[in-house]
Amino acid sequence: MISPWRICFSALFALALHSATVTGRIELRDSRDKRVKAGADYSGVVVWLTPVGASHPAPPGRGRIVQQNKTFVPHVLAVTVGSTVDFPNYDPIFHNAFSNYNGQLFDVGLYAPGSSRSVKFTREGVVRIFCNIHSSMSAVLLVLATPHFATSGRDGSYRIPNVPPGEYVLNLFHERTVQANLDKLSRRITVASDDAALAPIVVSESGYLAIPHTNKYGREYGPEPADSAYPGARK
């Protein structure tokens, strides 16, 4: 019996033979972030294309969000539905990645330096990720039902390869943009067999307010423990 995913990958290969690369640039405006104001960092905006009246195979993949220097890296990651994301701990201290938001609830528990945990994400949506020990740590995972997506770099550029000709709805996600502003940026585009360079998209951060998050128990964070407070922490 032929595996469904083998059929899926074969379909993707066939689509790639007659496909285009869609490129463009994001420009952030109305930000409180000094780097954004200076035009030095337009990263972290996810752009994806949803086929109109068609369905393109979106096989699951494997992603990774590293915990290093008490930071999740990358801060924004996009994957397809069904993908598994690894959370390796590169710090000399313990971490506990979790999400208590409605994208997908998970809690990998407390784990030691040099170890890793993995989570499979089975439904479409936005997953906001935190550490139960270090309140300053956060990341955003976008789980998509399309294989056509990209995340903007620091210069705002993005590149979506292997897009078959057809009609698409272009959507965006930016952590510091309210949904009403994102909805206004949604649009239909036509992709031909030639590569397509889209006009710059201006994304406003106006109206965004950061909401303090709680720990995995729904309570406020207490004082952060010393790095040596957990058995087995590397000195």
H or E element, residue 78: strand 76-80
H or E element, residue 26: strand 20-29
Cα 7 from chain centre:
27
Per the omega criterion (within 30 degrees of 0), is the bond before 74 cis?
yes
For every residue of 30-63, DSSP letters joined together read S---HHHHTTS-----EEEEEESS--------EE
DSSP 198: P
Q: What is the pLDDT along the chain (235 residues), one digit of tens a residue?
A: 555 545 454 555 545 557 999 999 999 999 999 999 898 999 999 999 999 998 888 999 999 999 999 999 999 999 999 999 999 999 999 999 999 877 789 999 999 999 999 999 999 999 999 999 999 999 999 999 999 999 999 999 999 999 999 999 999 999 999 999 999 999 999 999 889 999 999 999 999 988 889 999 999 999 888 776 665 555 5
Q: Which fold has domain 15-54+149-206?
A: Immunoglobulin-like (2.60.40)
Collapsed DSSP state (helix, strand, coil) of residue 6: helix
DSSP 202: E
pLDDT computed for residue 7 by the predictor:
46
Instruction: Give me the residue spans of the domains in the chain.
Output: 15-54+149-206, 59-145
Which residue in the block uniquely carries the two structure tokens 């170890």? 115
Assigned CATH class of 59-145 = mainly beta
For every residue of 97-158, DSSP letters joined together read EEE-STT--EE---B-TT-EEEEE--S-EEEEEEESS-TT-EEEEEEES-S-EEE--TTSEE
Collapsed DSSP state (helix, strand, coil) of residue 190: strand
